[in-house]
Amino acid sequence: ILVDNKQNVIYLTDTDSNSVSVINATTKEVIENIKVGNGPTGIAVDPSNHLVYVTNTGSNSTSVINGTTKEVIGYLPLVKYPHQGKGPTAIVLDLYSQKGYIIAPSTNNMFILDLKEIKQTGNASNFINNHETYIIKAITILDNPHNIVLNSKNGKIYVTSKDNNLINIIQP
């Protein structure tokens, strides 16, 4: 679940229907259901350009939605990393450094996205052909990463481990 205060909407991922519901935060009414990849779980928004990023666990990808038009404008497949990119579940955006961080628990990896490059191209339809431009790298982090948060004050990323009850602190 995610609140976009600038647009006054709530985004809710629905794994069963492979969609994201857009809810008016004032009236609490569903104003749109957006089809995304299989098994949407994590969600984040860049309020500067209203791009919404949704991790698709079953599709091994991240959908990019134009929050203004409520349409999927592209997919970021993790095909460059066929054995590492399975099952992305959560995403956070660091708007200061213009990086996005995606965790994939089934392969113990974290992927780093170049948000600046995505903004500059403005054309997400090229994501599939140019995914190497947008996904900077994959790094192995810990056993079974479960959740991820960003401290926007210091840029540190905190990743919890489902297996050993630890918090991994990453300074990119």
Percentage of the residues of the chain whose pLDDT score is greater than 70: 86
Quick one: 92 exposed, middle or buried, by C-beta within 10 A (0-12, 13-18, 19+)? buried
pLDDT top residue among 99 and 141? 99
Question: Which tens digits make up the pLDDT trace of 85-112?
Answer: 578 899 999 999 999 999 988 788 888 8
Burial (CB < 10 A; 0-12, 13-18, 19+), residue 122, is exposed
pTM of the shown model = 0.88
What's the rounded Cα separation, in Å, for the pair 24 and 122?
26
